[in-house]
Homo-oligomer: A and B are copies of this chain.
Amino acid sequence: MSRAPVTDPGQAPLSDSAASDTERALAHAAEHCEAHGARFTAARRRVLAILLAQQGQPLTAYQLLDLLREQQPGAQPPTVYRALDFLMRNELVHRIESTNSYLPCNHQHCGHHHPEGEHWPQFLLCDRCGETREVPLDNALRQALTRQARDYGFEVGARPLELHGLCPGCRAEHE
C-alpha cells in the first residue's frame, strides 16, 4: 500500500489557518468529551493532534506511533490503539477499513440534528495520492441503501461507506 508522506505537527510548521483549525478541533473534542463524561487526556489529545495535522491524509497506526514517539519516546502499539479506540468510540476519529488507516472525523455533518439517525459517514478516497475526504451521506442514498438491504431481509447500520477513485487534483494530472 503506498502512502503519502506524513506531517509532524511538532516540526513542520502549519499555516496559520491550519493551526487554528486544529486548535478549534481540539477544543471541540475536549468539550465533546467533557459533555459525555469522557476524559480527554494528554495521550488522547496528542494522538488526535497528530491526525489533525495530516490534512486529509489518513495515517496507519504505526505511522502514528512513529510520530507520537517524537513527543513520547516510550509509546508502544497499545498506546496508540487505546487512544484510537477512545477517539473512535467518541466519534472523533474514523478507521478506514480499506486502507487500515485512521482519520479525524471532520463533522461537517454534525452541525445540526439529523432526523435520519446516527452519524453515517461516507469517504471518498484517492487511490493515487491518498487524499481522503469525508462527506455527508446523502439522505436519499441512505434511505435507498437501508431499503434495498431490507428487501433482502437485512437490517443494516451506519458503517462508513468507502468509495475509491481519483481526487480532483489527480484526475486533472492523469490526463
Query: A125-149 vs B: 1/0 string, CB under 8 Å?
Result: 0100000010100101100110011
Interface check A159, CB cutoff 8 A:
yes
Decide if A165 touches B156 in the complex (CB within 8 Å). yes
- Residue of B whose beta carbon sits closest to that of A140: B144
Interface check A97, CB cutoff 8 A:
yes
Q: Contacting A162 at CB < 8 Å: which of B152, B159, B168?
A: B159
**How far apart are the CA atoms of A163 and B167 in the complex, in Å?**
24
Taking CB atoms, residues of chain B closer than 8 Å to A168 are 152-154
Question: How many chain A residues have a CB neighbour from B under 8 Å?
Answer: 29
Decide if A141 touches B138 in the complex (CB within 8 Å). no
Decide if B153 touches A164 in the complex (CB within 8 Å). no
Given A163-B156, A164-B157, A166-B154, are A138 and B133 neighbors across the interface (CB < 8 Å)?
no
Closest-CB distance, A133 to chain B (whole angstroms): 7
Interface check A155, CB cutoff 8 A:
yes
Closest-CB distance, A103 to chain B (whole angstroms): 16
Interface check A27, CB cutoff 8 A:
no
Q: Contacting A164 at CB < 8 Å: which of B126, B148, B159?
A: B159
- Residue of B whose beta carbon sits closest to that of A156: B165
**How far apart are the CA atoms of A6 and B138 in the complex, in Å?**
38
Closest-CB distance, A112 to chain B (whole angstroms): 20
- Residue of B whose beta carbon sits closest to that of A159: B164
Taking CB atoms, residues of chain B closer than 8 Å to A162 are 97, 159
Binding site for B on A (CB under 8 A): 97-98, 124, 126, 133, 135, 138, 140-141, 144-145, 148-149, 152-157, 159, 161-168, 171
